[in-house]
Every structure is written in C-alpha cells, then in structure tokens.
Amino acid sequence: MNKKDKAVPRKAFADDEATEGPFPDERLDGEKLQKVLAQAGFGSRRAMEEWIATGRVSVNGEPATLGMRVKEGDLVRADRRTIRVGERVHAARVLLYHKPEGEIVSRDDPEKRVSVFDKLPKLRGQKWIAIGRLDFNTSGLLIFTTSGELANRLMHPRFEVEREYAVRVQGTMTEEQMTQVLKQGVELEDGLVKFEKLEDQGGEGFNHWYRVMLKEGRNRVVRRTFDALGLPVSRLMRVRFGIINLPPRLKRGMTAELGEGEVAQVLDWAGIFLDSDELQKDLPVSGQVDLTQSEKSRRRPASAAKNVRRDVRTGGGKSKTGVKG
C-alpha cells in the first residue's frame, strides 16, 4: 500500500448524531455521502451537496439523494470518477509550487498558454485542486491539495485567510495614500478594499517595493488597488498564504510536497480535525512540527512562529517547505 493511502477499518461507519425514535442511543449506520466525497478529494461538502441535488452522483447505480448515507462496499460514482466506500481513502496531500510569470492557473485555456497543471506530479484516482489563483503575470506561492474540504476552508471568504505579497510599483506612495489603504480603504468597481498590513520596502529610481497583506482573494485586487492610486504594478509576487510561506529555496517552476506531519498541521490550523487513529499515524517525530501551537495559530495566523524546514523530494532535488509552526 502506498504510504499516501490509508486503509479504512473494516467496520460500519458511525456519525455523532443519534437516531430519532424509540432507540435514541442507537447510532445511524454509514457515513454521510457528501462527507465521503469531500474526503476523497471531489470537492467541499457544500459542493458535493449541490452535485447530489443536481443528479451528478449515484450510489450502487441508483441516483443519490440528499441526506443519504453510504456503507463499506457501496459503489459511488460522481461524474466520471468511481470510488468503493471503505476500500481505500487517500490521505490529503498538499503541494507547493513556485509559479513563474507567464503561466495560467487553469486546465482549459482557449489560447493554449502554459498551465501550472502541466508542471504538477501525476495522480491516480485523485486530482490537484488549486487553492486560489494567480494572475498570468503574477509569480509566487501556489498551493495545491487533493482535499476539497481543505481547499474550501482556505479559499472561502468567511475564513479570511491572509495573503501576503511583495509588490513593485512605478512611483512611491504618499503618507496619505498609505493611510487610506490601511484605514479608509480604496473604492473599486466591486467594492471597498483595505490592506491589513503595508510595509515600505524601499527601492531605487522610479520603482519602489512594498509588502502588503490582505484577507481576501478578489480577482487582481492588489493590482487594481495600486492602479486606483495611480501607481501601476510592475511586478507582483505572493510570498505567503495562511501559515504557509514561499520556501526560500524553492526555485521558480519547482514543486515541493509537504510531509505528513506538516499536512496534519495545516489541516489542524484550518479546523479540519483528524480522528485519533489518523492523528497518531500522521504526527511528526519529536522536534519537527509542534502541533500544540496550532490552535493559537488558527486564531492568529499572522503571528505564527518560525518556519518549519524539512527536506522533501522535488523535481530538482531537495528543497524546503514553508509551513509556519
């Protein structure tokens, strides 16, 4: 068995909800269908509920219904993919990619430009889900995962996950402009935007560098904000997403996969908790990643502590991952 896969115990699943009726202590058999699909990497639970409601999912050859539970051995088909419940559950995988400029974050591009998905390791029975996007001319940290639930947690606006960028603009911000983007905000065509943090990084000549942090991922929001201030962006790089930094040794065009302990830390920080068996298997050895800090990190991701640096295999040899501990 591949170390990335985990065998599911051969027993009926049980949910935390008790049955209604004369036997309140009896547990319902099976696992909720949308949860099984989300854990298998099809998408978020909410997305899976929509798939079920629109007839895109079947169980044992019959159309699935909302609220349905599945047991070990059931055959579930969602679009073109099929899984056998209880046969094998893939562990969540997280991959970091240093995107260069000139690549598109899409699998389908009418202009046939180079796609970031062309550079990723091939998967069997799963697919890489991009956590957020970067513009064609923007470089930096891209995160991919096989967990639809994790992708949803990190991208949904209500979770307000921090994104940090290094920005080079043509010109220099005035004190009034810096105060505006931090306090009053800048009005764009799709609403007001404020930076959570703005640092002057200096520069030479006409170009000037800034470090900005915000908690949203609207399309081209950083570029549009500086454009509205009359400061065109000449270079933009994402250097952090949540508790994951762009590893300094990860060169452009290279990937680095997080180890099991680091994945467990990211899941914990995102509020996705492993059961006790999974947690014991995924815990790192002493001295590598301290998950005892994850609750604090989840509440205040910006103040997460030092980088965790571990060797991982990449296309170009060893690199370092950038999970904050």
- Report whether pLDDT(4) > 70: no
Q: What is the CATH T-level fold of the domain 94-157+243-324, as seen in this structure? A: Alpha-Beta Plaits (3.30.70)
> Of 132, 190, 202, 208, nearest to 163 (Cα)?
132
Residue 153 φ/ψ, nearest 5 degrees: -60, -40
CA distance 198 to 63: 52
More confident residue, 218 or 1: 218
Per the CB < 8 A criterion, the answer to whether 34 and 72 are in contact is no
pLDDT above 90: percentage of residues in the chain: 46
SS3 292: helix
The tens digit of pLDDT for each residue in 258-285 reads 998 899 899 989 888 654 344 333 333 2
The token duo for 75 is 């055959």
- Report whether pLDDT(12) > 50: no
- Report whether pLDDT(296) > 70: no
Lowest average pLDDT, out of 175-189, 208-222, 271-285, goes to: 271-285
Residue matched to tokens 């921090």:
162
The tens digit of pLDDT for each residue in 75-134 reads 898 877 778 887 655 678 999 999 999 999 998 888 889 999 998 999 877 889 999 889
**Paired residues of 69 in beta bridges:** 32
> Of 250, 277, 241, 244, nearest to 263 (Cα)?
244
Q: Where are the domains of the chain?
A: 5-90, 94-157+243-324, 162-241
CA distance 41 to 273: 16
CA distance 260 to 57: 30
Spell out the residues 6+ positions from residue 55 whose beta carbon is closer than 8 angstroms to its own.
63
Residue type, 3: K
More confident residue, 264 or 315: 264
Out of 25, 118, 135, 190, the active site residue is 135
In what helix (H) or strand (E) does residue 165 lie, and over which residues does it extend? strand 163-170
Residue 46 φ/ψ, nearest 5 degrees: -65, -40
Q: How many residues can be counted in the chain?
A: 325
Which of 3.40.50.10070, 3.40.50.300, 3.30.2350.10, 3.30.365.10 would CATH assign to domain 162-241? 3.30.2350.10
Which of 1.20.1250.20, 3.40.50.720, 3.10.290.10, 3.40.190.10 would CATH assign to domain 5-90? 3.10.290.10
- Residue 118 annotated among the catalytic residues of the structure: no
